Amino acid sequence: MEQYVIKGGQPLEGEVTIAGAKNAALGILAAAVMTDQEVIIENVPNVRDTRVLLQAIQGIGATVRYIDEHTVSICGAAINPNSDLCVDDEFIRKIRASYYLLGALLGKYKHSQVALPGGCDIGARPIDLHIKGFEALGAQVDIANGIISTHAEELIGNHIYMDVTSVGATINIMMAAALATGKTTIENAAKEPHIVDVANFLNSMGANIKGAGTDVIRIRGVKELHGTTYSIIPDQIEAGTFMVAAAATKGDVVIKNVIPKHLEAITSKLNEIGAHVIEYDDSVRVMSDKRLKPTNIKTLPYPGFPTDMQPQMAVTLALSNGTSIVTESIFENRFKYVAELARMGAHIRVEGNTAIIDGVESFSGANVAAPDLRAGAALVIAALVADDFSVISDIKYIQRGYEKFDEKIRGLGGKIEKVDTDKDIQKFKLKIG
């Protein structure tokens, strides 16, 4: 089983290039099957979730071809509309974004079947808003034997109000409505950068979507979509993770291929706690040379502080010179890293959706397990700061969303290696000393 072994204490220094956004890629790859023409998608992050989704897309009959490591060609022409279009296997059940195939296939073929989604175990994660959205467009939705099925004679545009802001439901409804008859309005839509990216992608295929990035999205259905070439935006969360890692290790890192506007919530918190962030056109530089200050954080939908950055920032605050309060308002089970971090000497108390963090001067290396994707990344940051060696197991979660994470950290001087066996761990320890 792959693990990371890390020797902490080295400030991260140098330059790192950020991959395409996982959460935009997942929507865009699914939406690519909505035309029979070839779609070429550039800047696709080569992570486990995108590979699993591409396999599923191939599984329903589409032609999928890697042009290079980050460029994928998808052609839906060979999909048989009369097949059951059923997407289900042990891998697809583990990812969240499998549900985008529900909206994409429903829009194009007026029916779809997908296994109930998985994704990180960070809360109950219901899909009622997706279902209500499809039903509002005239689809019948059923769940049986772990499969969600949709079916419609015709999809008809409607006015949809979402009582909870949901990234997934906004994207799913947008995809289905793009090929519905008439006009759909989504009110209280999510505004994350990946919503805008999926909308821009669909528009580049001939869809008519306006207002993405605001809380009212208006979609005028079109008869069909056509092929396109499209480049995915940089990953806001991967960039934020390296920003926080630079600050936590008292390093100096230039993070390249980013959209600084998407990072504002993270930049402003890092500046507030005493790190120094400089923004350039498509990069940011994060520097820190002293112990950081505490602060309070509340996760919120974009443009608020992203829940996907909460664990990484909490690790940084756990090393600050005071008490911080972190409130998680999106997912009810996103503090699972706290027990692991305690093994490294962190002082964090969780009460409901709040973590009270009393900063400590340093962490000590420990053997810990990644409970989910971002918590895993947070534990890597903690290990990069800790005295001595740490071993992080269950890195399969981290690999869901970070491309070449260990390689990129090594490029910044971090002492990390991906290993398989205890013998490899001993070898690393002897090498690093």
Ligand X SMILES: C=C(OP(=O)(O)O)C(=O)O
Does 126 participate in binding ligand UD1 (rule CB under 6 A)? yes
Nearest residue to ligand UD1, scored by beta-carbon proximity: 168
Count of residues near ligand UD1 by CB under 6 A: 21
Residue written as token pair 């296939």 = 105
Closer to ligand UD1 at the Cβ: 23 or 149? 23
- Residues in the chain, overall count: 433
Does 308 participate in binding ligand UD1 (rule CB under 6 A)? yes
Give yes or no: 120 in active site. Answer: yes
CA angle 94, 97, 101 (to 5 degrees): 110
The correct pick among 115, 127, 344, 398 for binding ligand UD1 (CB under 6 A) is 127
Does 164 participate in binding ligand UD1 (rule CB under 6 A)? yes
Task: Report which DSSP code applies to 260.
Answer: G
Catalytic site residue from 39, 120, 248, 317: 120
| Phi/psi of residue 197, nearest 5 degrees | -65, -45
Which of ligand X, ligand UD1, none does residue 127 bind to, with CB < 5 to 8 Å depending on kind? ligand UD1
Ligand-binding site membership of 317 (annotated) = no
Does 123 participate in binding ligand UD1 (rule CB under 6 A)? yes
Provide the edge-to-edge strand list for the sheet that holds 367-369. Answer: 367-369, 389-393, 3-7, 415-419
Residue 283: count of CB within 10 angstroms of its CB: 19
Whether the Cβ atoms of residue 92 and residue 102 lie closer than 8 Å to each other: no
Nearest residue to ligand X, scored by beta-carbon proximity: 119
Q: How many helices (H) and strands (E) does the chain have?
A: 14, 24
Give min distance, CB of 215 to ligand X, in A: 21
Ligand-binding site membership of 420 (annotated) = no
CA angle 166, 99, 22 (to 5 degrees): 75
Ligand-binding site membership of 343 (annotated) = no
> Which amino acid type is present at position 350?
V
Closer to ligand X at the Cβ: 235 or 417? 235
Among residues 257, 220, 252, the alpha carbon closest in space to that of 238 is found at: 257
Which CA distances in Å does 81 have to 77, 106, 113, 123, 132? 10, 11, 12, 35, 24
Give min distance, CB of 29 to ligand UD1, in A: 11
Rounded-to-integer distance, Cα 132 and Cα 161, Å: 10
Ligand-binding site membership of 197 (annotated) = no
Closer to ligand X at the Cβ: 122 or 141? 122
Does 220 participate in binding ligand UD1 (rule CB under 6 A)? no
Which of ligand X, ligand UD1, none does residue 401 bind to, with CB < 5 to 8 Å depending on kind? ligand X
| Residues with active-site annotation | 120
Residues of each annotated binding site: 22-23, 96, 125-129, 308, 330
Q: Which residues of this protein are in contact with ligand UD1, per CB under 6 A?
A: 23, 26, 96-97, 123, 125-130, 164, 166-169, 190, 307-308, 330-331
Feature table: binding site for UDP-N-acetyl-alpha-D-glucosamine: 96, 125-129, 308, 330
